[in-house]
Amino acid sequence: MQLKDSVIIITGGGQGLGRSMAEFLAARGARLALVDLDQQRLDEAAAACKAAGGDARSYVCNVANEEQVGDMVNQVASDFGAINGLINNAGILRDGLLLKSKDGQIQKLSLSQWQSVIDVNLTGVFLCTRDVGAKMIELGNQGLIINISSISRAGNIGQSNYSAAKAGVAALTVVWARELARFGIRVAGIAPGFIETEMTASMKPEALEKMTAGIPLKRMGKPDEIAHSAAYLFENEFYTGRVLELDGGLRL
Ligand SMILES: NC(=O)C1=CN([C@@H]2O[C@H](COP(=O)(O)OP(=O)(O)OC[C@H]3O[C@@H](n4cnc5c(N)ncnc54)[C@H](O)[C@@H]3O)[C@@H](O)[C@H]2O)C=CC1
Ligand SMILES: CC(C)c1ccc(C(=O)O)c(O)c1O
């Protein structure tokens, strides 16, 4: 699949890895539909994509809201006339131990802390894939859906909610690749390890050093390295149903 003129929806496209992937794909001539919660961030990201050489439009939409996702997909189809790809990238962290003991009292991970992450990182991926997939079939468009999982899918301490969602997303990549192949839609995953983002940039140098010491390559990944993998997945038409691990060799 060639990136030039392909219409690709990127959720969480307003900042971080989503924005990096958007700019990278825009530089290769893709037409981006950027989805996020905040209009101003989206506008800045869309302007950066245009400056990089691609077309881009922005859509305010909560991926965990069924009605908003349906409306967004209809609007993208009407604005661009086609949909060739989706990157399920929007995600949140609400870390916490399942149980902890403080001053003789047991504190439990709250249901809202659990549910908020499942809603965005798992249900959001389901809703976007279902509705984008349906629209692609309706329009007769073929293409690729990429799910952003995480190295945490293997089970990371303090991340019951996040690990469960990211493991779910990895499993769904296999399920949907098998189900959607008959429509000419491939489904792939990327499981990043620690990547240089604003969050890691704000960490204390000692904490950063400790974290990178455990990575065989002794450094974090760069957002462009994730974007490069996304471009590869679009272009390699034999890739489906697998999750690409991009973690510098780290195992949690
Ligand atoms: N940064 C890292 O080191 C790693 C990131 N990941 C995954 O990569 C993806 C992107 O992560 P980052 O760029 O670091 O995060 P980020 O927090 O910088 O960006 C996430 C974006 O998603 C948007 N978003 C959150 N909830 C949303 C919702 N309900 N509807 C629409 N948009 C929503 C946010 O507004 C934000 O713009 C996430 O799925 C994350 O789990 C995975 C492994 C490592
Ligand atoms: C624990 C993993 C590597 C991790 C770290 C940081 C973020 C983030 O800032 O969003 C993640 O999403 C992760 O999966």
Domains with residue ranges and CATH for the chain: 7-244 (3.40.50.720)
Tell me if 64 sits within 8 A of 119, measured CB to CB.
yes
Candidates 1, 4, 10, 61; CA nearest to 32 is: 10
- Rounded-to-integer distance, Cα 193 and Cα 56, Å: 28
Of the listed ligands, the closest to the CA of 199 is 2
Residue nearest to atom 39 of ligand 1 (CA): 91
The pLDDT, as a whole number, for residue 187 is 99
- Give mean pLDDT, residues 232-244: 98
Say if residue 223 is exposed, middle or buried (CB neighbours under 10 Å; 0-12, 13-18, 19+): buried
Give residue 159's identity as a one-letter amino acid code: Q
* Whether this model's pTM surpasses 0.95: yes
Cα–ligand 1 centroid distance for 101 (angstroms):
30
ipTM of the prediction greater than 0.90, yes or no: yes
- Give mean pLDDT, residues 143-168: 98
Ligand 1 contacts CB of residue 64 (under 6 A) = yes
